[in-house]
Amino acid sequence: MAMTNRIIVLIFSVSFLFTAAATAQESLSGIKAGINLATITGDTDADKALRAGLSLGVFTKLPITDMFAIQPELLYNSKGVKYSYNNILAQGESKVKLHYIELPIKLLFEVTDDFDIQFGPYLSYLVQAKVDTDAEILGFYDIDNEDELDRDNFNGFDYGLVGGISFNFEPLLIGVNYSLGLIAIAKDDKPAENFVGNGKNSVLQLYLGIKF
């Protein structure tokens, strides 16, 4: 936990310094929305697949030079994974849904006026965790429900790296991001560790944005 706190402080400190350096330049803001194709990395015996989720939020672009800018964002991101099983006891699937409030801080390199490359850290806070199960037990007992999971099973903060590209069609943006968590989702020796192991968040995101 001490290491987590140090990472969090570092991310916010770097964000403050870059933002302060960029405030003298002309900035612009916007909104963005997209689809997350999420999974959980790590070693588990389960059959995993991508789970579709939603991403919504706002961003501010703070130019540093003609080619570089800092872009902090504040997002709601739905992550998780879909597990499938087909054995003598049960057939079906379970979707682990992890809902985060996320703060990416990206460095933008503007290759052309219409295209840029983005990279930076992110910090997110777990708001809610759920599991949605649709299964048949022993061939006759159906389960179709969504249950909220105890947040104490999970690390409250997640941090990692995010990178991507963006195409600019004023005032529209079209982009692709990939983010990878650097900390295990589940806490050690908690029930959630039994089904996600030491897995970390992994998300491919497709989004549209509008600049103001």
- Domain map (residue ranges) of the chain: 2-211
Q: What is the pLDDT of residues 21-35, one digit of tens each?
A: 445 457 889 999 999
Q: What is the pTM of this model?
A: 0.84
Q: What is the pLDDT of residues 111-160, one digit of tens each?
A: 998 999 999 999 999 999 998 888 777 666 667 778 888 889 999 999 99
Q: How confident is the model at residue 5 (pLDDT cuts 50, 70, 90)?
A: low
Average pLDDT over residues 101-107: 95
Over pLDDT 70: what percentage of the chain? 83
| C-alpha span between 72 and 61 (Å, rounded) | 7
Domain spanning 2-211: which CATH class is it, in words? mainly beta
Q: Read out DSSP for 30-83?
A: EEEEEEEEEEE-S--SSEEE-EEEEEEEEEEEEESSSSEEEEEEEEEEEEEEEE
Helix (H) or strand (E) holding 183: none
Q: Which amino acid is at 9?
A: V
| C-alpha span between 184 and 187 (Å, rounded) | 7
Higher pLDDT pick, 172 / 19: 172
| C-alpha span between 204 and 199 (Å, rounded) | 16
Q: Which amino acid is at 125?
A: Y
Give me 191's structure tokens: 């029930």
Contacts of 20 by beta carbon, 8 Å cutoff, 6+ apart: none
Is residue 67 pLDDT above 70, yes or no? yes
